[in-house]
Chains A and B, each alone.
Chain A
Amino acid sequence: MENNKEKLYNVVSEILGVKKSDINEKSSQDNIENWDSLAIVNMVTELERAFDVQFDILEIVEFYSIEIIRLILIEKGVKL
């Protein structure tokens, strides 16, 4: 669903301080400088609220690319 993808990109781009147009499926820790553990803490908190889900500790460790975050969200029943 376009809406949820929009929501995901919004949250991620604002936390990382980059333009939304710079975020895509391939965005990850490897190509975005600010994507540190601090940003991950903020992403977890904000995404939990935005999608009304809870991530467990093993999932958080994998928060290093949009692709994986998307997969984890889909596993939780979010249509993406």
Chain B
Amino acid sequence: MDYPKEWPESLKNIIDKAYKTNKFTDIRNALKLVKGQLSANNEKKINIGILRTYTIETLIDCLQLSLSAIPCRVNITLGGLDSIEQDLFDKESSFLQSSLEVIVILWRIEDLLPKLVWEVDSMSLKERRDSYNMLIERIKRIVEQYDEDAPLIVSTFFVPDYWKNSLNDKHRGYGIIEIVYKVNLFLYRYATLGKIRIFDVSQWLGSVGNSALNEKMNFFARQPFDPAYGLSFADSFTKVIRPLLLTQSKVLAIDLDNTLWGGVLGEDGIENLNIGKDYPGSVYWRIQQTLISLKNRGVLLVLLSKNNITDVTKAFDSLIMPLKLSDFIKLKVNWELKYKNLKEVAEELGLGVDSFVFLDDQKFEQGEMKALLPDVKTISNSGDPLNILESIVNSYYFDSFSIEKEDLSRNKDYKNQINRKKLEDTLDREGFLYSLELKANIESVSSVNLQRVIQMILKTNQFNLTTRRHSSSTVNKLISTKGSILITISLRDKFGDQGVVGLCIAVKDDTCDGGLIVDTFLMSCRALSRGAEDVLWCALMKYSSNKGYKILRAEYIETNKNMQVSDFYSRMGMELENDKNATQYILDVTKEINFPSWIDVSFAEE
């Protein structure tokens, strides 16, 4: 298990013990200490609301403990048993009053369709089908009607323990098992539309086994899960919550010998390396395939190997294997310490070392990285190839709900970035900017680019003036609010198309006639220092004067990651507001607007 690096060893041991024993007292004890640690570190807070058709009260400590390691301070609000719609759609419900940031629905087939589950043998095919349709209609109503800001996470259904061994049920149309699977497919489809996120309780049960179901507790307290599986359940829950709070890592830096193939190139020679279709080479083959699929999802791969580059090139040329040297965005094959190489790569790519994940089979390399670059996430493993494979597959650093166009082109994009750097070194600043042949397109936020907009809202930390993490329903509301301005910028130059790289949201200032307030202004870090942020700002000026605004207000909200933009508003010519605190700015928007001359700007619509 991974813990925040600031946590003391003693605390980690106490949590490990709780995970080992699953005992009430050990869990409660660990939770108490963790809570102390979280408030000492002043970690972010999150309010999670859970609606459910069954009892989970005894699992709350487990959920709290598991979620704490994200790290965050969790507050869980439970809805009443079986009151999903009442709690969700009654705006006055005490459930909705708790300013929830995530809403989760946990449900079971036997609670929603008790007649079907317990009297199925007296029902005709038509009646069973009607029950199914009724449930689908109910789910549809919930998902379509849902309009809260908080993302909606919905659990999958699982086959009741009672029915899992029934032969007959599997051979009739619209049996219980068939209905459970059909409903789950329906949920997955909603998930692909981005309407809900899935908490796959059914898959979790499949992996831990039905012994996690405790019929005694179910009858006595309507609690389906055995408390001994509480932490396992909680970890599976945490996996769905984590991507909402953490930014995804971007780069995987990988060792070569005994990580991508079996054996040591310099000692064993190319012909004795293990990589191929037979064990153990087959495990390394699968590791390489896993890395390629990470790359295809937008993760940048960097090779960190203590070897001679000529040997490595020769090996990649002559061995048949999934990975090619060209799959790596950077090769650091030399005899330097790995942390130094990693730091260099980070600088070359213009990324913080905290976007890096490090994978190496050797304990001392793992330890050295942890000690010298603690912000890098090191994937712990024993060095055994199967363990390396599992540790990559199970690590959550690259978890995300959806993959956008910008993820898919990231590899190409950073290659272009490296080429841009080369060009920059040969020209003066102005010559360089003109030679890029930059083209920017300003476009309003709409359903077409909404997913990308949300992704940027959740992921952008550095060039983000306010770091407001809006949900898609908030953004939708802002789109339809009269007088608001929501625009994106996409950027293209002679090296390639970067897609949507910046966002600005401004809303009407109700306290001031003709006033507008900047709600959000952010740029992806790979688009910086070429003037794109100035273009987006000028576009905001242009749109606001077109809409008749006269005064623009803005606020800089400091976080521990956005220091680089602390002077952005004053660079854009804004004045500090006198009698307010030092982060509020004001500007007369009727001033002349000067777009950067080296960028060709177009507007998709106005």
Which residues of A are interface residues toward B (Cβ below 8 A)? 11, 14-15, 37-38, 40-42, 44-46, 49, 55-57, 60-61
Contacts and interface: CB of A to CB of B under 8 A. Distances in A.
Contacts of A55: 216
B227 A41 contact: yes
Given A14-B28, A38-B58, A41-B227, A49 B23 contact: yes
Interface stretch (B218-226, B354-362, B459-467, B519-527): B218-226
Given A14-B24, A14-B25, A56-B216, A45 B221 contact: no
Nearest to B217: A41
Nearest to A56: B216
A15 B24 CA distance: 8
Contacts, number: 44
Nearest to B230: A45
B58 A42 contact: yes
Contacts of B226: 45
Given A11-B25, A41-B223, A57-B220, 10 more contacts: A14-B24, A14-B25, A14-B28, A38-B57, A41-B55, A41-B220, A44-B220, A45-B228, A49-B23, A57-B216
A14 B28 CA distance: 9
B59 to A, nearest CB: 10
Nearest to A54: B216
Contacts of A60: 216, 220
A61 B220 contact: yes
Ranked nearest first, the 10 interchain pairs of A and B with the lowest CB-CB distance are A45-B227, A41-B221, A14-B25, A38-B57, A46-B24, A60-B220, A41-B58, A42-B24, A57-B216, A37-B221
Contacts of A61: 220
Contacts of B24: 14-15, 42, 45-46
Interface residues of B, number: 16
Interface in B191-222: 216-217, 219-221
Contacts of A45: 24, 58, 217, 226-228
26 contacts: A11-B25, A14-B24, A14-B25, A15-B24, A37-B221, A38-B55, A38-B57, A38-B221, A40-B220, A41-B55, A41-B58, A41-B220, A41-B221, A42-B24, A44-B217, A44-B220, A45-B24, A45-B217, A45-B226, A45-B227, A45-B228, A46-B24, A56-B216, A57-B220, A60-B220, A61-B220
Contacts of B25: 11, 14, 46
B22 to A, nearest CB: 9
B366 to A, nearest CB: 35
Interface of B, helix, strand, loop or mixed by DSSP: helix
A40 B216 CA distance: 12
A38 B219 CA distance: 13
Contacts of A14: 24-25, 28
Contacts of A49: 23
A21 B322 CA distance: 66
A11 B28 CA distance: 12
A54 B193 CA distance: 47
Contact of A42 (B216, B219, B227): B227
B242 to A, nearest CB: 27
Nearest to B226: A45
B54 to A, nearest CB: 12
A59 to B, nearest CB: 10
Interface in B23-82: 23-25, 28, 55, 57-58
B222 to A, nearest CB: 10
A41 to B, nearest CB: 5
A57 to B, nearest CB: 5
A77 to B, nearest CB: 20
Contacts of A57: 216, 219-220
Contacts of A37: 220-221
